[in-house]
Amino acid sequence: MVQSAILARITRSAVLEVLREDFVRTARAKGVSRRGALWGHVLRNALIPVITVMGLQFAELLAGTIVVESVFYLPGLGRLIFQSISNRDLIVVRNCVMLLAAMVVIVNFVVDLLYALIDPRVKASDI
């Protein structure tokens, strides 16, 4: 719930910032409806910071699973890491941490690819 509230505030502030841009005023002057300008121009440009925050929140979600699975005694990767730390099984801890780090890297790579899809000004060479 906290993460969705943060995401909603970021989305709102990004949309309000993009609404003040000249290209939105130009689209409205050309006859694009308010809804059309919002969906076609504003939200597409406002998605860049929103997707960035979503990628960062994914890393927090992964870290939170360790705590939630340990507290509620749920089977999963978080409990495996916690039990491995308790048993001093360093090989399992190392491999789980590497898996979590790889997942974060993959999500950040996907976020970078989404930048190129959302904003045509971002080229593949800029990523």
Helices (H), 1-127: 2-19, 22-29, 34-37, 43-71, 77-86, 90-118
The verdict on residue 123 lying in a domain is: no
Q: What is the structure's pLDDT at 106?
A: 93
Q: Which tops the pLDDT comparison, 47 or 119?
A: 47
The verdict on residue 51 lying in a domain is: yes
What is the pLDDT confidence band of residue 122, given thresholds at 50, 70 and 90? confident
Amino acid in position 3: Q
The verdict on residue 126 lying in a domain is: no
CA angle 107-88-65, nearest 5°? 35
The verdict on residue 26 lying in a domain is: yes
Residue 37: is its pLDDT beyond 60?
yes
Percentage of residues of the chain with pLDDT beyond 70: 96
The tokens of 67 are what? 């705590």
Q: What total of structural domains would you count in the chain? A: 1
Which H/E stretch holds residue 122?
none
The verdict on residue 6 lying in a domain is: yes
The verdict on residue 49 lying in a domain is: yes
Mean pLDDT value across the chain: 88
**pLDDT-wise least confident of 4-8, 12-16, 75-79:** 75-79
The verdict on residue 124 lying in a domain is: no
The verdict on residue 101 lying in a domain is: yes
Percentage of residues of the chain with pLDDT beyond 90: 39
What is the pLDDT confidence band of residue 17, given thresholds at 50, 70 and 90? very high
Residue 126: is its pLDDT beyond 60?
no
What is the pLDDT confidence band of residue 59, given thresholds at 50, 70 and 90? confident
- Domain around 51: 2-118
Residue 93 phi/psi, 5-degree rounding, is -60, -45
| pTM, rounded to two decimals | 0.75
